Copies of this chain bind each other. A is one copy, B any other.
Amino acid sequence: MADLIKVAVDAMGGDNAPAEIVKGVVEAINEDSNVKVFLVGQEDKIKAELSKYNGYDTERLEIVNATQIIEMAEAPVMAIRQKPDSSIVKAMQMVKHGEADAYVSAGSTGANLVGGQTIVGRIKGVKRAPLAPLIPTEKGVSLLIDCGANVDARPDQLLQFAIMGSIYAENILGKRNPTVALLSIGAEEDKGNALVKETFPLLKNCPDINFIGNIEARDIPAGPADVIVTEAFAGNIALKMYEGVAKTMGRVIKNTFLTNLRTKIAYLLLKKEFTVNLKAFDAKQYGGAPMLGLNGLVVKTHGSAKAVEVKNSILQCVTFKTHNVDDKIKETLNNKD
């Protein structure tokens, strides 16, 4: 039992909590015998959901009671401070105290970001802990680092994002010598704002990453860069624009299919291929966004996460721990000082 990888899961966070969270946890335990999950939240509700399942290894699933819930709309800093018995705070404290290796939540992004920084805490030497969602591309998936709440970053912080993102892409996404690009408004070295121009030489001269230069947002969906480095404001806009366009186009396409009998028949003929191909553009299937540079992995999944996303987020934690990503980040960043 000593070698089990322990994941604390916020059972109360997200639109589909606790039902889909509990379901995802049971699936993760059934799929990987190396994982133990702490389901943190209101015990009675968790038990009610768990009663739907049997045959899973009860030794590797433990309920940790937490009476409070942090709602999506709450001001993050206040919520973390004023709800010590919330599922987010209690689960994060388990990581802080070494009782869990990693943490998964579908709850408030703001509260998770604040909790990550203030409860789990940053690795020594890490200046900021970025949130790095995976975005789907024609070649698979890319890491967009940072899309968190730490806007107005400095060049030396972006350099750390690049290094951490590269280690993550190599170890968790299985990319060999992952390509790293800097988000800008032109491919040339002299294009961009002041921050990008100052960051470019730092990335270019960094021996720890495979820097391929600037990337324009238009080229992201084709997938030339495994890791896209950006300050969080621009990163958030790129991410949200991606989601917005994909969603709106998806809706327009759906409406097209529903126009008349002829288009409905066409849809039946296309359905199989269409579903497979368009699914690649649904960012949600890739599970959670890691928050890197903390003393333990924090994974934020979508608020609308279903069981499969929760399961994948938990398995992502296992890979993170198995590959010692934390240690690799510590080692590489400390070598820089």
- The distance from the CB of A289 to the nearest CB of chain B, in whole angstroms, is 14
Which chain B positions have C-beta within 8 A of A138? Answer: 248, 252
Which chain B positions have C-beta within 8 A of A233? Answer: 185, 192-193, 196, 234
Q: Is there contact, CB below 8 Å, between A244 and B269?
A: no
Judge whether A274 is part of the interface by a CB distance below 8 angstroms.
yes
Binds B, one of A44-52, A59-67, A118-126, A217-225: A217-225
A260 to B270, CA, bound (A): 10
Judge whether A335 is part of the interface by a CB distance below 8 angstroms.
no
**A248-281 toward B: CB 8 Å interface, digit per residue (1/0)?**
1100110111011011011101100110011011
Choose one: B244, B257, B273; the contact of A219 (CB below 8 Å).
B244
Choose one: B236, B249, B255; the contact of A246 (CB below 8 Å).
B249
A76 to B95, CA, bound (A): 54
Judge whether A241 is part of the interface by a CB distance below 8 angstroms.
yes
Considering the complex, which residues of chain A in the window 298-324 have a beta carbon less than 8 Å from any beta carbon of chain B? none
Q: Is there contact, CB below 8 Å, between A192 and B151?
A: yes
Q: Is there contact, CB below 8 Å, between B217 and A244?
A: yes
Judge whether A238 is part of the interface by a CB distance below 8 angstroms.
yes
Q: Is there contact, CB below 8 Å, between B263 and A270?
A: yes
Q: Is there contact, CB below 8 Å, between B243 and A218?
A: yes
Judge whether A237 is part of the interface by a CB distance below 8 angstroms.
yes
Q: Is there contact, CB below 8 Å, between B238 and A241?
A: yes
Q: Is there contact, CB below 8 Å, between A152 and B194?
A: yes
A245 to B138, CA, bound (A): 11
Judge whether A91 is part of the interface by a CB distance below 8 angstroms.
no
Q: Is there contact, CB below 8 Å, between B240 and A237?
A: no
Q: Which residue of B lies closest to A245 (CB)?
A: B245
A239 to B252, CA, bound (A): 20
**A199-239 toward B: CB 8 Å interface, digit per residue (1/0)?**
00000000000000000111111100000000011101111
Which chain B positions have C-beta within 8 A of A262? Answer: 269-270
Choose one: B252, B257, B263, B274; the contact of A281 (CB below 8 Å).
B252
Which chain B positions have C-beta within 8 A of A246? Answer: 245, 249
Query: Contacts A185-B232, A245-B245, A270-B256; is A240 near B218 (CB within 8 Å)?
Result: yes
Which chain B positions have C-beta within 8 A of A234? Answer: 233-234, 237
Which chain B positions have C-beta within 8 A of A274? Answer: 256
- The distance from the CB of A24 to the nearest CB of chain B, in whole angstroms, is 25
Q: Is there contact, CB below 8 Å, between B252 and A277?
A: yes
Q: Is there contact, CB below 8 Å, between B256 and A266?
A: no
Q: Is there contact, CB below 8 Å, between B256 and A277?
A: yes
A128 to B149, CA, bound (A): 29
Q: Is there contact, CB below 8 Å, between B193 and A237?
A: no
Q: Which A residues are within 8 Å of any B CB, using their own CB?
A: 138, 149, 151-152, 183, 185, 192-194, 196, 216-222, 232-234, 236-249, 252-253, 255-257, 259-260, 262-263, 265-267, 269-270, 273-274, 277-278, 280-281
Chain A to chain B contacts (Cβ below 8 Å), 21 pairs = A138-B252, A149-B185, A151-B185, A185-B237, A185-B240, A192-B233, A217-B237, A218-B247, A220-B244, A221-B249, A237-B241, A238-B241, A241-B245, A242-B245, A249-B249, A249-B278, A262-B269, A263-B269, A263-B270, A266-B266, A267-B270
